[in-house]
Chain A
């Protein structure tokens, strides 16, 4: 027993200290103060306080967390959990108190610019440092006890409460977007109810949101699991068909709806699309072929610059002023060439060496675009001005073209399958899919014809809504390409190369071609992103293509799940949509200053807790959890054996 209490005391001190340091850290870097402006529940709980006060509760919970072993009954939760939580919270409070007293006694602003009197005021709840210290220690232990008490609550209730809480938080965060959207779809009453006049969430709407989350999940308890189980039990082709259908619905939704999102969400979603595009491209290079490319931004830059030169009226020397979609084929060609140029010299490199060399290539690309002696072509540090209002798109022609191809392919397929079915007297599913493709083709032609301003040579001007639609089209193309290639001869060659290059070669795979194919495909997808970036941003200049872009694209792929399309898509939405891109705003504008910090923390946490990513591919999960897999397989084999004997 004494041994256990020593361990517990050590734990209390450790986690209390960790909590205290975290709290001091987020205060000292200014997070608390900046986030104080955002009221989660008006008027008495701001995001800053919330962040601060979450810490003692979290460490209070963590300190008596148990490792659950299968077949071993863990210690029963009880009062001691609350006591331990309170003690841990108090330690956290004490560390904070120390920080408050220190700030009060000395002026730390010379070292830590963010430690302002306003911060001190916040931390002491405006009561002066003596009372404030008492409050914070007391509050710390109360919250710690609350965290500890969570062990006494059933896990389901706990997760439900957490979910409700997060939803309230989310509604508070996206207030502007939600308001815009609600007003666009004529639900202003809902908006008025949710947010008060200062556009903040009052307590009653917070409660409503929480109830909206809790009530259905209590009512439909277990339903979602059943639904999921039924989905998993479906045969693979049917599952794929459903997935395909969902994706199609999503895409059509995305094509129709942007008008109702308001410009801000539109902007954010376009940025998400841009990075999703590059994430998908890098996923082919890194996730499929296993070539760690740290200079991926180079292809993005190539795409952006070639588009800018081809479409802009103010490019320095060469001004063909093409329409956007007639420039795209050239951009693809140039990007493919760039892929070859970067790919060829690094063919014989692998692993770390490849990473370093590509890193250098990324920087070289930026410096080339910046160079004074190429100022005549790329405009040097000032870059190239692209005026979106003066660009023709020809999107209508593209739609009509795509529609015609779809009509012909789908029609032929339908016709062939139907005549086959007549011979055999049974229905062929290909007839249906062919008909669907053909109908979609007709729809595309109709849309292309119905919006002549996209199509005519003379109309000029691109707005964010259109760019979002283009982004969607490109993302669909990228996802389609990745999906088809993964399960093909080329995709298998990439996989084999990733596993063991020498053996892949000995098994008859030409690694030179395979690598170049990966580089070129990746480069083209990144160039799509660059092309969109060029017509969206207004001016293309070298500073937009810094190394941090490459890193963030890689982080998207890693956090989302390497080799998994859904994962990369989710990664882009989470990282870029919520936090914002390196120079683009996300939904949480307050995070702006702390973006890189949060990226870093997220990456570290993911690597420790879930290295396979948020939505990993089955293969990658297997790879990173070989031992668990083997154990499961062993247990399954044993169970089968026993069954056989029985």
Chain B
């Protein structure tokens, strides 16, 4: 079976800094893959390049067999890759419902003229958008529904903002979800809940998920496969157990033990 996402030799350079130095990466449909690595390893740049925020310098990004490298972010989202951001970036002054409604932009078509004349098609589509937004928010239990629909996003708690970000990504109806540190800043209970949620994203919604994560407990619980980046290159790949006992990985995280010829 063909890979959902296949990346070959992806590089990205910022001036003299080599953020990504030829990364190879592959995701099969239905997988949950974690990307880990120390700070500054290039994880977020990796996501930004896949989602089109940065054009890659070289390399191929094959999504469902066609190259999406160099496309605009909105085109990539349309193809079916959605993402969240490490430093939660909602539309703070739009309501919770509007945040999710606006994310359906690329799956809907009615432009200015239908809106002006409120054609039956326009009304139907608006109703559908609203309905789907409620449905997506309902996925998070009672946390984002009811009176929360009409609250501005800035009024949400930190954990709820992270949830809303995931809801917004789901609303673009993607095939592949890129979650950038979905549990950062959450307390242990919320982290646990979020971990379960990531599992449910696959089992109930059928998404393929790539997660950047720092919390090793989360990584162990959710991932089928773990990819380790350091200094913009892949240094290890495999199951959590394989990776966590890998020499290079331990070195990347903890540093090289001081030896006589080292230092």
Contact = CB atoms under 8 A, between A and B. Distances in A.
Interface of A: 480-481, 484-485, 488-493, 495-496, 499-500, 502-511, 517, 521, 619, 622-623, 626, 629-630, 633
A507 B93 contact: no
Contacts of B154: 626, 630
A506 B108 contact: no
Interface stretch (B72-80, B204-212, B216-224, B237-245): B72-80
A415 B73 CA distance: 46
A633 B155 CA distance: 8
Nearest to B77: A508
B112 A507 contact: no
A490 B89 contact: no
Contacts of A510: 72, 74
Contacts of A633: 151, 155
A328 to B, nearest CB: 17
Q: Kindly state the interface size class of chain B when it binds its partner.
A: 35 or more
B122 A496 contact: no
B94 A508 contact: no
A517 B101 CA distance: 20
Given A489-B129, A509-B105, 19 more contacts: A484-B115, A488-B112, A489-B105, A489-B126, A492-B98, A495-B102, A502-B53, A502-B73, A506-B53, A506-B73, A507-B106, A508-B74, A508-B103, A509-B102, A517-B112, A619-B93, A619-B152, A630-B155, A633-B155
Nearest to B171: A507
15 contacts: A485-B112, A485-B116, A488-B115, A489-B126, A492-B102, A495-B102, A503-B89, A504-B102, A506-B74, A507-B74, A508-B78, A510-B72, A521-B112, A619-B93, A619-B94
B115 A489 contact: yes
A235 to B, nearest CB: 15
Nearest to A629: B155
A580 to B, nearest CB: 33
Interface of B: 51-53, 72-74, 77-78, 82-83, 85, 89-94, 98, 101-103, 105-108, 110-112, 115-116, 118, 122, 125-126, 129, 151-152, 154-155, 168, 172
A510 B52 CA distance: 13
A491 B114 CA distance: 13
A619 B74 CA distance: 26
B197 to A, nearest CB: 20
Nearest to B168: A507
Given A484-B116, A507-B172, A508-B106, A489 B111 contact: yes
B110 A488 contact: yes
Contacts of B152: 619, 622, 629
Contacts of B125: 489
A142 to B, nearest CB: 50
A500 B112 contact: no
Contact of A507 (B105, B118, B122, B126): B105
Contacts of A495: 91, 94, 98, 102
Contacts of A622: 93, 152
A490 B155 contact: no
A183 to B, nearest CB: 42
Residue of A481, A485, A504 with most chain B CB atoms under a 10 A cut-off: A504
Contacts of B98: 492, 495
A629 B53 CA distance: 33
B116 A481 contact: yes
Given A484-B115, A490-B111, A629-B152, A509 B106 contact: yes
B173 to A, nearest CB: 9
B119 to A, nearest CB: 10
Contacts of A484: 115-116, 118
Contacts of B77: 506-508
A622 B129 CA distance: 24
The majority secondary structure among interface residues of chain A is: helix
The 5 closest A-B pairs by CB, nearest first: A508-B106, A488-B115, A508-B77, A499-B91, A505-B73
A340 to B, nearest CB: 15
A318 B115 CA distance: 37
B212 to A, nearest CB: 15
A496 B116 contact: no
Contact of B108 (A489, A507, A521): A489
B115 A496 contact: no
Contacts of A629: 152, 155
Nearest to B48: A506
Nearest to A626: B154
A506 B106 contact: no
Contacts of A508: 74, 77-78, 103, 105-107, 172
A488 B77 CA distance: 20
Nearest to B103: A507
B55 to A, nearest CB: 13
B221 to A, nearest CB: 27
A84 B126 CA distance: 61
Given A499-B93, A506-B53, A619-B93, A485 B115 contact: yes
Contacts of A492: 94, 98, 101-102, 105
Contacts of A521: 112
A507 B85 CA distance: 11
Most buried by A among B78, B94, B115: B115
Give the residue among B93, B107, B154 with the most A Cβ atoms within 10 A.
B93
Contacts of B92: 499
A480 B85 CA distance: 37
Nearest to A517: B112
B93 A509 contact: no
Contacts of B122: 488
A510 B74 CA distance: 6
Nearest to B107: A508
A480 B112 CA distance: 12
Nearest to A620: B93
Nearest to A510: B74
B150 to A, nearest CB: 10
A123 B106 CA distance: 69
A490 B112 CA distance: 7
Contacts of B83: 506
Nearest to B81: A506
A351 to B, nearest CB: 17
A630 B92 CA distance: 13
Contacts of A491: 115
Given A506-B83, A517-B112, A633-B155, A493 B74 contact: no
A489 B101 CA distance: 8
Nearest to B84: A506
Q: Which among B108, B126, B152, B154 has the highest number of chain A CB atoms within 10 Å?
A: B152
Nearest to B91: A499
A389 B31 CA distance: 76
B130 to A, nearest CB: 11
A484 B116 CA distance: 6
B192 to A, nearest CB: 24
Contacts of B126: 488-489
A434 to B, nearest CB: 12
Contact of B102 (A485, A493, A502): A493
A506 B98 CA distance: 16
Contacts of B101: 492
A507 B115 contact: no
Contacts of A509: 74, 102, 105-106
B94 A496 contact: yes
A304 B115 CA distance: 28
Best-buried of B73, B111, B151 by chain A (most CB within 10 Å): B73
Nearest to A636: B147
B91 A500 contact: yes
A493 B101 CA distance: 10
B74 A511 contact: yes
Contacts of B78: 508
B72 A489 contact: no
A509 B154 CA distance: 21
Contacts of A503: 85, 89-91
Contacts of B111: 489-490, 517
A30 to B, nearest CB: 45
Nearest to B94: A495
